[in-house]
Amino acid sequence: MLFHHDPNHNDEMIDAMVEAARLLVLETGQAMEVEAAQEGAEVWLSRP
């Protein structure tokens, strides 16, 4: 989760940062999801 950003960034800027992070993950060949955190969202973690 990307969770700290400049409050002046708009949704399009955040989307671009998420996409850039996803491309970096793809380049590593690792299996990892990248999302932008959202106020009030809950994330449930579980063991594989």
Any domain includes 13:
yes
Q: Which two tokens stand for residue 32?
A: 């990892």
> Residue 26 to residues 10, 13, 42: CA-CA distances in angstroms?
25, 20, 25
For position 40, what pLDDT does the model report? 92
Q: What is the pLDDT of residues 1-16, one digit of tens each?
A: 998 878 899 999 999 9
Query: What's the domain range around 6?
Result: 1-40
Any domain includes 23:
yes
**What is the total count of domains within the chain?**
1
Any domain includes 45:
no
Mean pLDDT of 5-33: 93
For position 25, what pLDDT does the model report? 96
User: Model confidence at 39, in pLDDT bands (50, 70, 90)?
Assistant: confident
Tally of residues, the chain: 48
Any domain includes 46:
no
